[in-house]
């Protein structure tokens, strides 16, 4: 892969936007997020807090700066979000939900701190596993996000991901979960949010990820799905979520990680995608946006750098496309 290093080179680059990853700027941007408690935006995004920690911590690990956020304080915050039932809320006092519970597990695994659940009398990892397993519908195999009942393949993927990292997949009916995912497959090769729903690359990631964790990628027509996914690349190198939609950095992850899982990442132009992601940086204040020139946020910073890692960008830790965690972390936990 060729990397353009100077500003103004390589198709479509705006004057002055460097085409190198501004590592130090992004580290400073992520560190600054926790010190902005006096800003109104901090409180507006409180419902995302635990996910925000995961979105900040993962790129720091990928950029070889795992200690840029204080480890002990991060663990304290995560554990303060846990409920008696084993699940985690977005912030202390918020209701437990599948998505935050998955983020909590990813953070604890990344920090090698799953043992803290036991040490601090949180019921160990088994209580977390019990919360997740109780959200499976034993008839259909799908998962709810919380006790109120919305179902989504995102929750199914999250459940398999977290339980797999905890070594607790036996708590659920894995065959039923796999059968449900298969029902969400469409004739175009993609997957939707539920059976019969339109294909969307976010749902493709969750369905392919779930099948990868279950060891059932054999159920996928990889050429047909690979064709649909590679059609997501647009002229400027960016990827969209479904036909006729605008490109967005977060789809760099959902599309490219899905392609990587089915062994078809080389079906897109990786150099053009790398250039597109780098153009989404704010080279002054750090962080990445959904597309060039927009406001940065930690969500797109995470998925942009994860995408660059997947594309083999020099100097970044390698990422595991199934778990969206550094590969050295999943290698340690799963011996894979
Ligand atoms: Zn996005």
Euclidean distance between CA atoms 287 and 301, whole angstroms: 5
Cα 298 to averaged position of ligand 1 atoms, centre (Å) = 11
189-213 mean pLDDT: 96
270-289 mean pLDDT: 96
* Of the listed ranges 7-11, 62-66, 209-213, the one predicted with least confidence: 7-11
pLDDT tens, position by position, 153-200: 999 999 999 999 999 999 999 999 999 999 999 999 999 999 999 999
- Residue 68: per-residue pLDDT: 94
CA trace torsion 195, 198, 201, 206 (10° rounding)? -10
- Residue 252: per-residue pLDDT: 87
Instruction: Write out the residues surrounding ion ligand 1, Cβ under 5 A.
Output: 248, 250, 290
Cα 203 to averaged position of ligand 1 atoms, centre (Å) = 14
Euclidean distance between CA atoms 65 and 71, whole angstroms: 12
Cα 299 to averaged position of ligand 1 atoms, centre (Å) = 8
Cα 202 to averaged position of ligand 1 atoms, centre (Å) = 10
Euclidean distance between CA atoms 213 and 102, whole angstroms: 14
Q: Which residues contact 48 (CB under 8 A, 6 or more apart)?
A: 90
Cα 254 to averaged position of ligand 1 atoms, centre (Å) = 10
Tally the C-alpha atoms within 13 A of residue 105's C-alpha that lie toward its C-beta. 31
Q: What angle do CA 57, 145, 195 make, to 5 degrees?
A: 115
109-118 mean pLDDT: 96
Euclidean distance between CA atoms 78 and 289, whole angstroms: 26
Q: What is the DSSP letter of 167?
A: T
Euclidean distance between CA atoms 262 and 216, whole angstroms: 11
Q: Which range scores top for mean pLDDT: 6-15, 85-94, 138-147, 206-215?
A: 206-215
268-273 mean pLDDT: 97
Cα 198 to averaged position of ligand 1 atoms, centre (Å) = 18
pLDDT tens, position by position, 312-329: 999 999 999 999 999 999
Kindly list the domain boundaries of the chain, sorted by start residue.
Answer: 23-334
- Whether residue 263 is predicted with pLDDT greater than 60 in this model: the reply is yes
Sign of CA dihedral 57, 63, 68, 70: positive
End-to-end C-alpha distance for the chain, whole angstroms: 26
Euclidean distance between CA atoms 266 and 27, whole angstroms: 30
- Residue 175: per-residue pLDDT: 98
Q: What is the DSSP letter of 326?
A: E
Secondary structure class of 324 (helix, strand, coil): coil
Cβ-based burial of 122 (10 A; exposed 0-12, middle 13-18, buried ≥19): middle
Q: What does each C-alpha distance from 97 to 128, 152, 158, 202 come to in angstroms? A: 11, 13, 11, 19
pTM more than 0.85: yes
Do 68 and 57 meet the contact criterion of CB atoms below 8 Å apart? no
pLDDT > 90: what percent of the chain? Answer: 83
Cα 235 to averaged position of ligand 1 atoms, centre (Å) = 18
Cα 213 to averaged position of ligand 1 atoms, centre (Å) = 25
Taking residue 121's Cβ as centre, other Cβ atoms within 10 Å add up to: 7
Cα 130 to averaged position of ligand 1 atoms, centre (Å) = 32
Euclidean distance between CA atoms 46 and 157, whole angstroms: 24
Do 13 and 278 meet the contact criterion of CB atoms below 8 Å apart? no
- Residue 43: per-residue pLDDT: 62
Cα 295 to averaged position of ligand 1 atoms, centre (Å) = 12
Cα 297 to averaged position of ligand 1 atoms, centre (Å) = 10
Cα 175 to averaged position of ligand 1 atoms, centre (Å) = 32
| pLDDT averaged over every residue in the chain | 91
Sign of CA dihedral 264, 267, 273, 275: positive
Q: Does domain 23-334 have CATH number 1.50.10.20?
A: yes
Euclidean distance between CA atoms 39 and 56, whole angstroms: 18
Cα 294 to averaged position of ligand 1 atoms, centre (Å) = 11
Q: What angle do CA 205, 210, 215 make, to 5 degrees?
A: 125
- Residue 42: per-residue pLDDT: 64
What kind and span of H or E run contains 54? helix 49-62
Do 330 and 110 meet the contact criterion of CB atoms below 8 Å apart? no
pLDDT tens, position by position, 7-61: 333 333 445 545 899 999 999 999 998 776 666 666 666 667 899 999 999 999 9
241-252 mean pLDDT: 91
Q: Which two tokens stand for residue 27?
A: 């580290």
Question: Band of the pLDDT at 3, cuts 50, 70, 90?
Answer: very low
Taking residue 6's Cβ as centre, other Cβ atoms within 10 Å add up to: 10
- Residue 45: per-residue pLDDT: 67
């Amino acid at each position: 892969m060729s990397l353009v290093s100077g500003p103004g080179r390589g198709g479509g680059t705006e004057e002055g936007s460097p085409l190198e990853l501004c590592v130090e700027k992004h580290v400073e941007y992520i560190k600054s997020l926790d010190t902005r408690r006096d800003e109104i935006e901090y409180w507006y995004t409180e419902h995302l807090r635990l996910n925000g920690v995961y979105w900040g911590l993962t790129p720091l690990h990928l950029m070889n700066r795992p200690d840029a956020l204080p480890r002990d304080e991060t663990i304290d915050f995560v554990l303060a979000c846990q409920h008696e039932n084993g699940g985690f809320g977005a912030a202390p006092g918020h209701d437990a939900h599948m998505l935050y519970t998955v983020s909590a597990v990813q953070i604890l695994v990344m920090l090698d701190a799953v043992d803290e659940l036991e040490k601090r009398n949180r019921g160990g990892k088994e209580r977390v596993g019990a919360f997740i397993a109780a959200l499976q519908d034993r008839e259909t195999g799908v998962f709810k996000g919380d006790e109120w009942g919305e179902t989504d393949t995102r929750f199914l993927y999250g459940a398999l991901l977290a339980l797999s990292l905890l070594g607790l997949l036996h708590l659920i009916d894995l065959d039923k979960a796999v059968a449900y995912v298969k029902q969400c497959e469409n004739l175009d090769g993609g997957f939707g949010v539920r059976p019969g729903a339109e294909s969307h690359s976010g749902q493709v990631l969750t369905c392919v990820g779930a099948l990868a964790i279950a060891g059932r990628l054999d159920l996928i027509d990889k050429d047909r799905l690979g064709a649909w996914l590679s059609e997501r690349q647009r002229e400027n190198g960016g990827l969209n979520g479904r036909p006729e939609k605008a490109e967005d950095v977060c789809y760099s992850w959902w599309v490219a990680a899905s392609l990587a899982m089915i062994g078809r990442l080389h079906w897109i132009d990786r150099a053009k995608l790398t250039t597109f992601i780098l153009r989404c940086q704010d080279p002054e204040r750090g962080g990445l946006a959904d597309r060039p020139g927009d406001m940065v946020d930690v969500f797109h910073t995470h998925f942009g750098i994860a995408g660059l890692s997947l594309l083999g960008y020099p100097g970044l830790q390698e990422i595991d496309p199934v778990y969206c965690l550094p590969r050295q972390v999943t290698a340690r936990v799963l011996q894979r």
